[in-house]
Amino acid sequence: MKQKKTLSRGMKCFLYVLPVIILIFIFGYLPLWGWSYAFFQYKPGRALLDCKFVGLQNIKDLFGNAVMQRNILRVLKNTFGIKFLGYVFSPLPMLFAVLLSEVRSKRFQKLVQTVTTLPHFISWVIMFSLALAMFGTDGLVNTTLHNLGSETTINVLNSDKHVWLTQVLLQQWKEVGWKAIVYFAAIAGLDQGLYEAASIDGAGKMQRIWYITLPQLIPTYFVLLIMDIGKFLNSGIDQYLSFGNALNKEYIEVLDLYVYNIGIGSGQISYSVAVGVLKSLVALVLFASANYVSKKVRGSSVF
Amino acid sequence: MTLITKIKKMSREELIFHLIAYPVFALVLLVCAYPFWYLFICTISDNKMVDLGQIFLLPKGIHYGNYIKVLKIDNLSNAAVVSVLRVIVGTGLQILVSSYAAYFFTKQEMWHRKLWYRLVVATMYFSAGMIPVYLNIKMLGMLNTFWVYVIPGMVGVYNMILIKTSIEALPADLEESAYLDGAGYLTRFFRIVLPLQKPILATVGLFGAVNHWNDFFTTKLYVTRPKLYTLQFLLYELLNQVRAIMEQPQDSGPGYDSLTPMATRMTMTAIVVVPIMLVYPFIQKYYVKGIMIGAVKG
């Protein structure tokens, strides 16, 4: 009797949440049927089943077809290049937090934090507009150079040189302050006794940073880095859509943008889905591995 | 006087550190804040002086003509309405549905709770991909509707996890007594649990609102009807036109008394960025909390 009662309560609870599960199913799982497009030679305007079934040919083409292969390689190179260059800058938020928290004036700390976090909350479209205002051909830098009598025009936004570096630096400008917050919180939670003991033993500021603060932040740094590597292929698209143009296209087209361009831009649905399928699978493996490593490092998993 | 005594008390190392750190961080401040400031003073300065590069620190020849003209741009007021509606409806639905789901997923007695919860959370890490999602939205008939802005993001899984963690921190007795008094799930959720979640709902809501406001890709991907454009997308389009001009060698622009392309895009950017600036102090109040829970949960 009692058994039955708990079961019906559990059922009732489930029925309440069922609409949410259905929503999740419709928008999270139902799109998987779209993967079938990868196995047909889909032509827009026709029903999928009227199109020619080609099996794995589309996926083979990605690696066999010379043009496709060249494009995929280029796009992967861009995705990897921008990401790796980003990793070079990955200790920056940690260093920023460590140094800023050593500054005596709390008010100055607060001010710097407030201002540096703001760019995180603006969109990449706004970023592009700000970049145009500063570095565009009619932007502040160039008009000033001309006023000073220089003949050259610096055109970083509109050139095929240093595209990766420009994009990564923009990311740093936008995100360093935001990413530093985790480290500020971690620093605030460190045991103050250690610092006092070190001071009594005669350790200077730099020694305290080097031997006490940094070693305790390194695990956080690695966990965040690993999680970021887990999301490696999801480079996002907003930034590259905003900053991409005909001149830097060769170097700015990352995987997501490429999928968009061939799928929506030129209507090659089947190929773009094939690329997307491979991406989703690789991303899943990457994420699982990152989760596994992170579990080893800190003893708890994300999922 | 106090400053001098403070400095005297510092060790040599401490002093050197501050002598380097203050200028460095002051430079960081400048680099972060100046583009916003420059953009803003340009919008209210004389357009001719802006083009000639004579504006650096303070606005000159202050006028509000740019704003008046930009506000008259075709479709702008309509896009503003769409953006605001999207933020209100989208964020409201997201908070409601996410907290509703979060509440029920705290209930141990739910039939196969673990399985359903995992199914929901998995969507955070796995996506069928952009084009399949697009095809799905198309199949559901949501292309070129307002709903494409607010419905697919309704269950914010990440938000749901944050709210669930927060609900789990409530003492169990709280609901227990209401349960014994015969209150059902919904009564307990709306009357007892939800009112106690205001801080986390504010956090989640502010972040959701900013994301809704900032998004332009949804419009780019799913919407072709100009009546449904958002402000961000309108700005994106405008910048695209500028880009198209930029790619060809350009002669001097139109007369200075009219709206220059640069003045147009700067003014429009200012209009789009102002709401973010206005809610930023509130966001700041909550974001540390948000990112800390986020850091733990991935």
pLDDT digits (tens, 9 = 90+) for A25-84: 999 999 999 999 888 888 777 777 777 888 888 888 888 888 888 999 999 999 999 999
Same domain, B93 and B180: yes
Q: Would you call A232 exposed, middle or buried from its count of C-beta atoms within 10 A (0-12, 13-18, 19+)?
A: middle
Question: Which residues of chain A does B277 touch, with a Cβ-Cβ cutoff of 8 Å?
Answer: 118
Residue B7 has pLDDT above 70, yes or no: yes
Q: Measured between CA atoms, how close is B93 to chain A, in angstroms?
A: 12
The domain total for chain B is 2
Residue B217 has pLDDT above 80, yes or no: yes
Residue B295 has pLDDT above 60, yes or no: no
Residue A238 has pLDDT above 80, yes or no: yes
| Confidence at residue A59, expressed as pLDDT on a 0 to 100 scale | 82
Per mean pLDDT, which range of A144-158, A264-278, B183-197 is the poorest? A144-158
**CB-based contact (8 Å) between A90 and chain B?**
no
Q: How far apart are CA B218 and CA A104, in angstroms?
A: 45
Minimal-distance CA residue of chain B relative to A116: B32
Bridge partners of A52? A41
Which of A23, A29, A204 is opposite residue B154, by nearest beta carbon? Answer: A23
| Confidence at residue A303, expressed as pLDDT on a 0 to 100 scale | 42
| Confidence at residue B296, expressed as pLDDT on a 0 to 100 scale | 47
Same domain, B34 and B90: no
CB contact under 8 A, B35 and A277: no
Question: Per-residue pLDDT tens for B166-178?
Answer: 999 888 888 888 8
| Confidence at residue A1, expressed as pLDDT on a 0 to 100 scale | 45
For chain A, positions 206-265, list CB contacts with chain B under 8 A. Answer: 206, 220, 224, 227, 237-238, 241-242, 245-247, 256, 259-260, 263-264
For chain A, the three-class secondary structure string (H helix, E strand, C coil) is CHHHHHHHHHHHHHHHHHHHHHHHHHHHHHHHHHHHHHHEECCCCCCHHHCEECCCHHHHHHHHCHHHHHHHHHHHHHHHHHHHHHHHCCCHHHHHHHHHHHCCCHHHHHHHHHHHHHHHHCCHHHHHHHHHHHHCCCCHHHHHHHHCCCCCCCCHHHCCCCHHHHHHHHHHHHHHHHHHHHHHHHHHCCCHHHHHHHHHCCCCHHHHHHHHHHHHHHHHHHHHHHHHHHCCCCCCCHHHHHHCCCCCHHHHCCHHHHHHHHHHHCCCHHHHHHHHHHHHHHHHHHHHHHHHHHHHHHCCCCC
**CB-based contact (8 Å) between B265 and chain A?**
yes
Q: Measured between CA atoms, how close is A198 to chain B, in angstroms?
A: 15
| Confidence at residue A302, expressed as pLDDT on a 0 to 100 scale | 47
| Confidence at residue A15, expressed as pLDDT on a 0 to 100 scale | 93
Question: Which residues of chain B does A260 touch, with a Cβ-Cβ cutoff of 8 Å?
Answer: 130, 221
Residue B135 has pLDDT above 60, yes or no: yes
Question: Which residues of chain A does B17 touch, with a Cβ-Cβ cutoff of 8 Å?
Answer: 102, 205-206
Minimal-distance CA residue of chain B relative to A20: B101
Which of A103, A126, A184, A242 to mutate to probe the B interface, most B CBs <10 Å? A126
Question: Which residues of chain B does A138 touch, with a Cβ-Cβ cutoff of 8 Å?
Answer: 51, 262
What CATH number does the domain containing A70 carry?
1.10.3720.10
Domain end marker among B33, B63, B93: B63
Model confidence band, residue B250 (pLDDT cutoffs 50, 70, 90): very low
Same domain, B31 and B82: no
**CB-based contact (8 Å) between B298 and chain A?**
yes
Residue A273 has pLDDT above 50, yes or no: yes
Does residue A56 form part of some domain? no
Residue A14 has pLDDT above 60, yes or no: yes
Does residue A294 form part of some domain? yes
Domain end marker among B12, B35, B63: B63
Q: Measured between CA atoms, how close is B146 to chain A, in angstroms?
A: 16
Same domain, B44 and B149: no
| Confidence at residue B243, expressed as pLDDT on a 0 to 100 scale | 63
Domain end marker among B63, B79, B98: B63
Bridge partners of A53? A40
Question: Per-residue pLDDT tens for A91-147?
Answer: 999 999 999 999 989 999 999 999 999 999 999 999 999 999 999 888 899 888 888
Residue B154 has pLDDT above 50, yes or no: yes
Q: Are A121 and B210 in contact (CB under 8 A)?
A: yes
**CB-based contact (8 Å) between A28 and chain B?**
yes
Per mean pLDDT, which range of A259-268, B3-12, B122-131, B203-212 is the poorest? B3-12
For chain B, positions 95-134, list CB contacts with chain A under 8 A. Answer: 97, 100-101, 104-105, 107, 109-112, 116, 119-123, 125-134
Q: Measured between CA atoms, how close is A139 to chain B, in angstroms?
A: 8
Does residue A80 form part of some domain? yes
Same domain, B39 and B77: no
CB contact under 8 A, B25 and A264: no
| Confidence at residue A231, expressed as pLDDT on a 0 to 100 scale | 82
Does residue A247 form part of some domain? yes
Model confidence band, residue B253 (pLDDT cutoffs 50, 70, 90): very low
| Confidence at residue A19, expressed as pLDDT on a 0 to 100 scale | 96
Residue B245 has pLDDT above 70, yes or no: no
Q: How far apart are CA B17 and CA B119, in angstroms?
A: 52
Does residue A35 form part of some domain? no
CB contact under 8 A, B116 and A35: no
Q: How far apart are CA B191 and CA A210, in angstroms?
A: 52
Minimal-distance CA residue of chain B relative to A268: B131
When pLDDT is averaged across residues A210-214 and rounded to a whole number, the result is 92
Does residue A115 form part of some domain? yes
CB contact under 8 A, A21 and B119: yes
Same domain, B85 and B16: no
Does residue A49 form part of some domain? no
Bridge partners of A294? none
Does residue A280 form part of some domain? yes
Same domain, B45 and B93: no
Classified as helix, coil or strand, B144 is coil
Question: Which residues of chain A does B38 touch, with a Cβ-Cβ cutoff of 8 Å?
Answer: 133-134, 140
CB contact under 8 A, B36 and A144: no
CB contact under 8 A, B132 and A302: no
Question: Per-residue pLDDT tens for B256-273?
Answer: 345 678 888 899 999 999
When pLDDT is averaged across residues B136-143 and rounded to a whole number, the result is 95
Which of A16, A31, A123 is opposite residue B216, by nearest beta carbon? Answer: A123
**CB-based contact (8 Å) between B17 and chain A?**
yes
What CATH number does the domain containing B265 carry?
1.10.3720.10
When pLDDT is averaged across residues B217-231 and rounded to a whole number, the result is 95
Per mean pLDDT, which range of A180-184, B8-12, B103-107 is the poorest? B8-12
Question: Per-residue pLDDT tens for A140-189?
Answer: 998 888 888 888 888 888 888 899 999 999 999 999 999 999 899 889 88
Residue B254 has pLDDT above 60, yes or no: no
- What's the whole-number average pLDDT of chain B? 87
**CB-based contact (8 Å) between B3 and chain A?**
no
Same domain, B114 and B247: yes
Residue B244 has pLDDT above 70, yes or no: no
Same domain, B222 and B269: yes
**Which phi and psi angles does A52 have, rounded to 5°?**
-75, 130
Provide the residue type at A114 as one letter.
Answer: T
| Confidence at residue B289, expressed as pLDDT on a 0 to 100 scale | 63
Q: Are A302 and A292 in contact (CB under 8 A)?
A: no
- Which domain covers residue A177, as residue numbers? 66-298
Which of A29, A117, A133 is opposite residue B35, by nearest beta carbon? Answer: A133
Same domain, B152 and B26: no
| Confidence at residue A205, expressed as pLDDT on a 0 to 100 scale | 87
CB contact under 8 A, A146 and B216: no
DSSP string, B174-194: HHHHHHHTT--HHHIIIIIIG
CB contact under 8 A, B123 and A28: yes
CB contact under 8 A, B130 and A256: yes
Classified as helix, coil or strand, B266 is helix
Residue A296 has pLDDT above 90, yes or no: no
Per mean pLDDT, which range of A66-70, B141-145, B163-167 is the poorest? A66-70
Tokens 């831009």, residue?
A265
The domain total for chain A is 1
Residue B190 has pLDDT above 50, yes or no: yes
ipTM of the complex: 0.88
Question: Per-residue pLDDT tens for A213-235?
Answer: 999 999 889 888 888 888 888 88
Same domain, B40 and B172: no
Minimal-distance CA residue of chain B relative to A38: B132
Residue A8 has pLDDT above 90, yes or no: no
| Confidence at residue B288, expressed as pLDDT on a 0 to 100 scale | 65
| Confidence at residue A291, expressed as pLDDT on a 0 to 100 scale | 81
The encoded tokens of residue A16 equal: 């309440």
Same domain, B42 and B99: no
| Confidence at residue B252, expressed as pLDDT on a 0 to 100 scale | 44
| Confidence at residue B256, expressed as pLDDT on a 0 to 100 scale | 39
- Which domain covers residue B186, as residue numbers? 68-297
